[in-house]
Amino acid sequence: MTAVAEDFREVMAGVPTPVSVVTTLTDGHPHGTTVSAFASLSMSPPMVLVSLDRGSELLARLGHGSVFGVNVLGSDQAALALAFARKGSDKFAGVAWTDDAGAPRLTGSPGWLACTVSQLVDGGDHVVVLGEVQAAATDGGAPLTYHARTFGTHASVG
């Protein structure tokens, strides 16, 4: 790794990000992965972006028009984030979920977006998935964040 890449990694570790699990269904089977590169893109139409590693098993299941879900995790869901961050096909073992608008919605996640892939954009060792939001729901609650290589949550400063 170059010095710039190492410095970049350190700078980015200092930027707090939301933690989400992106999910999809393939032949009725759920698939998902934890992401910390997720953001709002547009209000009209409502769109989000998520960044997936080129080697991601989930990315291999997404194409233009595919349905995917974004489960915005709550501050009490760090174990779920870790479970979906690992490799393997049994990530949903013991995890409660429902099919919501064609994508797996994890029970207890305070934020939910059902999206349709509108574009896949190359970005170095990742692919940015642009998704048009088809359904959204929130139960409120404190978000799970990732900062300085640890999980936490947001706190107001004043």
Note the residue count of the chain. Answer: 158
The answer to whether position 13 is within a domain reads no
The answer to whether position 7 is within a domain reads no
The answer to whether position 122 is within a domain reads yes
Average pLDDT, integer, range 141-150: 92
Each residue's pLDDT tens digit, 1-32: 899 999 999 998 988 899 999 999 999 999 99
**pLDDT of the residue at 18:** 93
**pLDDT of the residue at 88:** 85
Encoding tokens for residue 118? Answer: 């509108």
The answer to whether position 109 is within a domain reads yes
The contacts of residue 9 (CB under 8 Å, 6+ apart) are 1
Domain holding 58, by residue range, is 19-138
Average pLDDT, integer, range 50-72: 96
Each residue's pLDDT tens digit, 86-139: 988 889 999 999 999 999 999 999 999 999 999 999 999 999 999 999 999 999
Amino acid identity, position 90 = D
**pLDDT of the residue at 21:** 98
The answer to whether position 75 is within a domain reads yes
Are 51 and 41 within 8 A, CB to CB? no
Number of Cα atoms under 13 Å in the Cβ half of residue 7: 3
The answer to whether position 3 is within a domain reads no
**pLDDT of the residue at 136:** 97
The answer to whether position 82 is within a domain reads yes
Domains in the chain: how many in total?
A: 1
CATH number of residue 117's parent domain: 2.30.110.10
The answer to whether position 6 is within a domain reads no
Whether pLDDT at 144 is above 90: yes
Are 19 and 36 within 8 A, CB to CB? yes
**pLDDT of the residue at 157:** 86
Are 21 and 35 within 8 A, CB to CB? yes
**pLDDT of the residue at 62:** 97
**pLDDT of the residue at 155:** 81
Average pLDDT, integer, range 46-53: 97
